[in-house]
Structure 1
């Protein structure tokens, strides 16, 4: 839209000159210089208003897709990995889950005792599992993927919903999970609805654990919530 504007202004300048009362008017060197200056001014003054179509924007957001090795369609994968975190029985240290890359650059061995980075396992069983999940997920290690969504400026996880609000784009949806209420605290994480195991091993080595959560009415108003039900979640970008 910028170039046509410049052309219209220049045409107007030329028409004014041509319609000058003296039909035999001849432009002097200073007149020609003035026109060239005006061309240069219009060109440079409009440049900032015109987006550079040749450059790709570097704007975007990243998020972790818990429970999957791949990113949703339309997102780029930054890296894939294994979920880790502090042991479920540890009293101190970090409480957040980590997406640990599958190609780590390991530090030197140390003799001090402060282990805080363990693997993570799913803990759904016969009596405690999200709707639709198989018991075979029990004690399986948890994968993750860090995803990059171009041309987005913000990302958020909405607990209690499986769809985004108007104007937002759903990256993935799933179940809200954390550690068991009897263990030490962990973050809430939105684990993909179609979660998968990291591999075929099943060692029951614990570490950071993922348990499904359910609602409890009382201080939580029901309705609109329902008592003792799965807590859904969705990750949205805009």
Structure 2
């Protein structure tokens, strides 16, 4: 009976485990596995989101599964989802390469925090990974969110055509309303993902 309850619980929360950010999991963009001691990989997939230049675009990046469940029940207008691409060569991959992602769950910590502008965690927090702060371009219409791209970016082998979609760019500082110092104008920001 306990085994059946466990299976039911696993199935009933599968969707929310994969696609929502609870306080014990996070999407790790461009890394195919959660390779740290306190993380379990829940799924590997394709980073995606709205078209970079659509006015009514959704803001967030998502990690799409490799085994989607699709439906044909709708026939009216729709929102669209696209794959994510590097839009320059500065991440160590060709422009147009698609990004993989994985959704990870912490086995011991219950809080996940992404800190922009830091490469290490504050005392009492455990680092899961660090890298570069990325977002959509300020020149594009669509809203995006800031995410932390792993310092060792990967790309999908089959996704090398430049079709745009949801695009990633490194984030630079702009002094004025941003306090300078401690920040410096036109410098790229790092980031770190910490758990506690």
**TM-score, normalisation: structure 2:** 0.82
Q: Does 1:178 align with 2:135?
A: yes
Does the CA-based 8 Å contact 2:173-2:188 persist in structure 1?
A: yes
- Following superposition, the deviation at residue 110 of structure 1 comes to 4.9
Give structure 2 stretches of 5+ with no counterpart.
1-22
Q: Does 1:142 align with 2:99?
A: yes
CA deviations over 1:203-232 (Å, ceiling 9, x no partner): 111111111111112221222112211111
- Following superposition, the deviation at residue 111 of structure 1 comes to 4.5
* Whole-angstrom distance in 1 between the partners of 2:170 and 2:88: 7
* Whole-angstrom distance in 2 between the partners of 1:141 and 1:110: 28
Partner of 1:204: 162
Q: CA RMSD in A?
A: 1.6
CA deviations over 1:23-79 (Å, ceiling 9, x no partner): xxxxxxxxxxxxxxxxxxxxxxxxxxxxxxxxxxxxx81111111111132111000
Structure whose residues are more often helix by fraction = 1
Q: Does 1:217 align with 2:175?
A: yes
* Whole-angstrom distance in 2 between the partners of 1:210 and 1:109: 32
CA deviations over 1:139-160 (Å, ceiling 9, x no partner): 1101100011112121110000
Q: Does 1:188 align with 2:152?
A: no
Q: Secondary structure at the match of 1:137?
A: coil
Does the CA-based 8 Å contact 2:50-2:82 persist in structure 1?
A: yes
* Whole-angstrom distance in 2 between the partners of 1:231 and 1:170: 17
Which residue of the other structure, out of 27, 32, 37, is the alignment partner of 1:69? 32
Q: Does 1:237 align with 2:195?
A: yes
Partner of 2:50: 86
* Whole-angstrom distance in 1 between the partners of 2:160 and 2:77: 26
Greater shift after overlay, 79-88 or 215-224? 215-224
Q: Secondary structure at the match of 2:24?
A: strand
Aligned residues: 172
Structure whose residues are more often strand by fraction = 2
**Is the radius of gyration larger for structure 1 or structure 2?**
1
Greater shift after overlay, 209-218 or 102-111? 102-111
